[in-house]
Each structure stands twice: as C-alpha cells, then as structure tokens.
A and B are shown apart, each in its own frame.
Chain A
Amino acid sequence: GNSVTQMEGPVTLSEEAFLTINCTYTATGYPSLFWYVQYPGEGLQLLLKATKADDKGSNKGFEATYRKETTSFHLEKGSVQVSDSAVYFCALSDSGAAGNKLTFGGGTRVLVKP
C-alpha cells in the first residue's frame, strides 16, 4: 500500500535560518504530492503541491520538488520566520481511488525562535 515517511520533530530553528523537512514516499502508480501546514489551534491547509515528476510546488517562500527517482518531496524554505511555527504534513494522493484519498506522513513540528 501507499505510505509516507517524514522526519520526526520537533525541529527548532532561529529566525532567518534555513529549513528543510525530508519526505519520502512509497506508492503504486503516479501519485500527486502535497505539503499541508497546521498552525496552532487550526485545521490543515494546503501549502503546496506537485502533480508529476520534476514539478516544483512553491508558496509563501516554501518549495518542494517531486523527485520520482528518489521517491522524495522535501520541503525547503530559505529564511524562516516566527510565524512559520507549525506542524507540517507530507501527503500523497492516490489518483486511482475514489475521492483521491490522501495518505499522510506523521507530521513534523517546527518551532522558530526569535
């Protein structure tokens, strides 16, 4: 079956530091890949996505590239802010299944200190 593995947190950084969160996946077929973010006390919201190999998703200074050869979708941001403190989830979508079910990684908590 499908699975997503991402690095465990928490990740603690200083403001303006470089952030990378590793994500690898196992899937049959050609999934779409997502990063969702959950700010404290809120539900998940889509951060970025990529639908095919070599696509780069980007939003709010975050980037991730769909690497089929390494089955990875690592999230990066060059200079984090305190407001980036959140839990980040990597996910894949099984496009062959009804409703495009998502399979999530375990989540990575990021704490950015001023």
Chain B
Amino acid sequence: DVKVTQSSRYLVKRTGEKVFLECVQDMDHENMFWYRQDPGLGLRLIYFSYDVKMKEKGDIPEGYSVSREKKERFSLILESASTNQTSMYLCASNWGGETQYFGPGTRLLVL
C-alpha cells in the first residue's frame, strides 16, 4: 500500500515563527503536492514538485516556500507564520498521471 506520512497531526505556532511541515512518501513517486484545506473552499494547491529540486507554484503560493532535496521528502515552509495561515495542510503524491495519494493532514493553528 502507498503510504504518505506527515510529520505532525496538530501544530500550534506563534505569529512570525518559521514553520516546517514535512511529508514523506514510500512509493518512489515523482510528483508531490502541498494543499491547504479550508471550509467551503475545498483544497487549494500551494506548490508541487515533479522531480528532486524542481518546484512549481500552485494557485496560492504567497507566504510559502518548499524544498525537495530527496525524492521521497517534500517540505512546506512558512517563512513567517501569520494567523491567516491557520488551516489544514495536506500532502499528496503520485507517479505520472496516476491517482494522487494523500497524507492524513496537519492541522496548523497560528496564534
């Protein structure tokens, strides 16, 4: 079975802190994605990566950056957390055009 894991299920941070969210997949998938999920808005793509050290902006990249140094790991970075970044963050991966597989999500609260 494909497994996508995220480093934390719940996270509480203060405004201005630098926040790292980690995602690891064990299926040698080439593509990895970061979404945020907000009520009524569904999932919105923040960034994705189609290869090691490659990244592309999604629909809402402002305030975020990403890092992919190894194929299995994709990190989302909030350079200076703000209260409007309080959300559920979901990581996903896939190979080519196949179905995306999602992690359990990280619920982030920024105070």
Q: How far is the CA of A8 from the CA of B39 in the complex (A)?
A: 11
Whether B42 and A99, one on each chain, are in contact in the complex, defined by CB atoms closer than 8 angstroms, is: no
- Residues 38 to 82 of chain B near chain A (Cβ within 8 Å): 39-45, 48, 50, 56, 58
Chain A contacts for B58, CB-based, 8 A: 101
Q: How far is the CA of A43 from the CA of B90 in the complex (A)?
A: 7
Chain B residue with minimal CB distance to A9? B40
Whether A101 and B48, one on each chain, are in contact in the complex, defined by CB atoms closer than 8 angstroms, is: yes
Chain B residue with minimal CB distance to A101? B45
- Given A93-B97, A99-B94, A104 and B103 contact (CB-CB distance below 8 Å): no
Whether B97 and A107, one on each chain, are in contact in the complex, defined by CB atoms closer than 8 angstroms, is: no
Category for how many chain B residues contact A: 20 to 34
Q: Mark A78-112, 1 if CB is under 8 A from B, else 0.
A: 00000000000101010100111110111100000
Whether A43 and B103, one on each chain, are in contact in the complex, defined by CB atoms closer than 8 angstroms, is: yes
Tell me whether B84 is interfacial, beta carbon within 8 Å. no
B residues near A (Cβ < 8 Å) are 4, 31, 33, 35, 39-45, 48, 50, 56, 58, 90, 92, 94, 96-100, 102-105
Can you list 9 A-B pairs with a CB-CB distance of less than 8 A?
A43-B4, A43-B103, A43-B104, A43-B105, A44-B102, A93-B97, A100-B94, A100-B96, A107-B39
